[in-house]
Amino acid sequence: MKLNPNYWISDLKSPLERFWELSGQKIRLIEDSFDTKNGAPVFTEKGKYVTRGWTEWTQGFQFGSALLQFDATGETEFLEIGRKNTVDKMAPHLTHIGVHDHGFNNVSTYGNLLRLSNEGKTDASEWEREFYKLALKVTGAVQATRWTNIPSGGYIYSFNGPHSLFVDTIRSCRALVVSHQLGHLLQAENDKRISLIQRAIQHILSTVRFSIFYGKGRDRYDISGRTAHEIIFNTVDGNYRCPNSQQGYTGFSTWTRGLAWAICGIGETLEILDQISESDYSEVISKAELMKELSEAAIATSEFYLANTPTDGIPYWDTGAPTLHQMGDYLNRPSDPFNAFEPIDSSAACITAQGLIRIANWLKSSDPDRAEKYQKAAFQISGALFSEPYLSTEANHQGLILHSIYHEPNAWDYAPEPGKVAHGESSMWGDYHARELALLLQRMLKGEAYYSYLNCVPK
């Protein structure tokens, strides 16, 4: 990525205004025409959101998007869309024992509703607030039951089974953190009391120790900052076996959305540590050692992203994608979503930009030069996302951020013309995280209260 030292957050004022205007139009389009009886909207085909039966992990992004829209604009129609649909349709996600995505679905809905109340943006009654709290307590405990022990701790296993650690899940740990901060725990056989924050910290540590590489010779492809989508463990003795991938090219290349999940999850974990009592997790690790490990992971992954992304900060779907070499010097020019070789994943940029801002804020006192670099990068990435060809301006297109990719190896994404890669479509997670990014930037620009998911817990 090529950094512009003269690009400032103030340059995003007009793009943000246009972004929210278009965002509202897209939310209305989906609400008016999408039938959730057959599942949640996942990604668009020919501009219309469709389902994709794999796991139900995107419905919280649909209704959470309306809540973020209300937060940013004050338009109460979006609050009602988000609130009504959360109450009517999200209950099954609270007790869904088959997914590792509780932080995505339920913190994005019940969590945002409680946060809006805490921040004084809604006038929720005490009973309504207790309803949201109960939902958040439940989702964190249910998420924590998907647990595999390993010699160094453990992890929340993916939908592939107990042998499988996904890098994505680092951001879903927010469900456990919120539940713990609300005073909850997991009660198991013989009334065993299991700490949710300890499980969250153990999972995060397993991710940064196994899913992230540091150039220390673990294997021939151990490049500092790269990530593996999936890590495989022997479930008999808990030992590490190998890296793998489901949506990336291989376990020995870097799927850029997985890299983005790591950057974002680490960044928001670092910035909330001061709000969590060290004594609650000190049996696992000290706060000083935790910060050290997370800081190393944050810097390694951020530097890798910046070094392996085109000049505008929008990445291709995998840094080891097999035909990237046919594109010539592709890293020294802006991303090209219309090429004939490998698709872009704009959703990875949406997720990463937020993470870079949070990591930058964490590093301001200890490493101000690096903090400024990451913040500048996030602003520029946002500027690219919030303008064409990435911002969706067509009136009938239900997506907000174009050129997202879901599953390139399975060929699930729509390719509109022969000889070109899949392009021109959006994803529910990409659109939601673009809105989170925009809300974070807008609050920073206006000097408003800092946007954090943990604002849903009363201080």
Using an 8 Å Cβ cutoff, are 199 and 102 in contact? no
- Asked if residue 63 is part of any domain, the answer here is yes
Average pLDDT over residues 141-158: 98
Per-residue pLDDT at 331 exceeds 90: yes
CATH number at residue 430: 1.50.10.10
Q: Which residues contact 253 (CB under 8 A, 6 or more apart)?
A: 221, 226, 245, 318, 319, 320, 321
Mean pLDDT, residues 92-113: 97
| Burial category of 134 from C-beta neighbours within 10 Å (exposed 0-12, middle 13-18, buried 19 and up) | middle
pLDDT at residue 455 is higher than 80: yes
| pLDDT-above-90 percentage for the chain | 98
* Distance set, CA 128 to CA 3, 64, 117, 244, 414 (Å): 46, 17, 10, 43, 41
Q: Answer whether residue 217 shows pLDDT above 90.
A: yes
pLDDT at 183: 98
Q: Report the pLDDT value the prediction gives residue 153, as an integer from 0 to 100.
A: 98
In a domain, 409, yes or no: yes
Distance CA 396, CA 414 (A): 17
pLDDT at 28 (0 to 100)? 98
Which residue is it, tokens 């690096």?
370
Q: What is the mean pLDDT of residues 79-101?
A: 97
Q: Is 212 helix (H, G, I), strand (E, B) or coil?
A: strand
| Model pLDDT for residues 60-86, shown as the tens digit of each residue | 999 999 999 999 999 999 999 999 999
Is 253 among the domain residues? yes
444: pLDDT strictly greater than 80: yes
Indicate the residue type of 102.
H
Q: Do 291 and 381 form a contact (C-beta atoms < 8 A)?
A: no
pLDDT at residue 54 in the model: 81
Cis peptide leading into 337, omega within 30 of 0? Answer: no
Q: Tell me the average pLDDT across 18-43.
A: 96
The domain total for the chain is 1
Pinpoint the alpha helices (H) of 196-328: 196-206, 256-270, 287-307
- The C-alpha atoms of residue 115 and residue 364 are separated, in whole angstroms, by 26
Q: Which of 353, 373, 357, 225 is nearest to 300 (CA)?
A: 225
User: Please, which pLDDT band fits residue 427 given cuts at 50, 70 and 90?
Assistant: very high
**Rounded to an integer, what distance in angstroms lies between the CA atom of residue 453 and that of residue 68?**
12
4 part of a folded domain: no
Residue 301 is predicted with a pLDDT of 99
Asked if the structure places residue 1 within a domain, the reply is no
Question: Does position 32 have pLDDT exceeding 80, yes or no?
Answer: yes
Domain contains 86: yes
The predicted structure's pLDDT at residue 135? 98
Cα separation, 118 vs 120, in Å, equals 5
Task: Band the pLDDT of 38: cuts 50, 70, 90.
Answer: confident
* CB-based contact 381:314 (threshold 8 Å): yes
Mutual orientation of helices 126-144 and 174-181 as an angle, nearest 10°?
A: 130
Mean pLDDT, rounded, of the chain: 97
Is 89 part of a structural domain of the chain? yes
> Can you give the residue range of the structural domain that contains 191?
9-456
pLDDT confidence bin for 382, thresholds 50/70/90: very high
Rounded average pLDDT over 244-266: 98
What is the predicted pLDDT for the residue at 105? 97
Please give the backbone phi and psi of residue 45, each rounded to the nearest 5 degrees, phi first.
-130, 120
Tokens 């953190």 correspond to 177
- Asked whether the predicted pLDDT for residue 375 surpasses 80, the reply is yes
Is 456 in contact with 112 (CB distance < 8 Å)? yes
Rg of the chain over all Cα atoms, to the nearest angstrom: 20
In a domain, 38, yes or no: yes
If DSSP codes are grouped into helix, strand and coil, which group holds residue 78?
A: helix
Least trusted range by pLDDT, from 17-21, 52-56, 191-195, 322-326: 52-56
Which conformational region is residue 384 in: left (phi greater than 0), alpha (psi within -120 to 50 degrees), or beta?
A: alpha
Please state the separation of Cα 24 from the chain's center in Å: 21
The overall pTM is greater than 0.75: yes
**DSSP code of residue 262:** H
What is the mean pLDDT of the segment spanning 99-115? 97
Per-residue confidence (pLDDT) for residue 436, from 0 to 100: 98
Mean pLDDT to the nearest integer, 209-235: 97
Q: What is the pLDDT of residue 53?
A: 77
CA angle 403-409-414, nearest 5°? 40
